[in-house]
Amino acid sequence: MTLYPIYYDTETTGIKPDKDRIIELAAYNPETGQTFCELINPQMPIPKEASSVHNITDEMVQNSPSFKVVGQAFIDFCGSGAVLIAHNNDAFDKNFLEAEYRRSDLEIPAWRYVDSLKWARKYRHDLPKHALQFLREVYNISPNQAHRALDDVMVLYSIFSQMIDDLPIETVLNLMSTPSKLGKMPFGKHQGKPLSEIPKDYIKWLGKSGAFDKAENKDLMEAFEKLGLLSSV
């Protein structure tokens, strides 16, 4: 099967996939130039704090289709060979997407995924931050309407296509599946310091704060484990 990239993004009513809902789903296929963008009626009120982020209101989605309708249209748009790329995909977008498909009794294709946030953290250790809007500035991408799905998708495409240069999507998948050789602290007050020199009380604090429970910090936790630093805190 021929694989091809699809950049996508979701806007939601909150941050919990089991309780919250997707209210906007957008995607871009760089090989065809086609875009996908649909508002979705979540069949629940949109909290004010969520609207303050993406500016999507109850009135905007009241006549929009359900996820079951949009979800099927998204499958048709992506096809079966899609590699879905999103920023913070593994900890957010993928979880919401799969939760919505389960609720709608739709069978999700065996898509593959790339988390561009993980890629940035893995291969751009020189950067102090890896948030989408920070990367936009690093790569000199024009400002967008942040936190609206299609705008974020197009910014992500502009950023990630520069980050991977001319690498085929199959190579990107292989590189992301290669165990990280993380040697330095990627964030926080000890950023850039060799992991072997990180104070034990700081590692303990990371564990208690839930940092190691986040999908994007799995490589860091495994690196500390290999150094024997988790068992001693």
- Is there a catalytic annotation at residue 147? yes
Q: Within 10 A of 123 (CB to CB), how many other CB atoms are there? A: 14
Catalytic positions are: 147
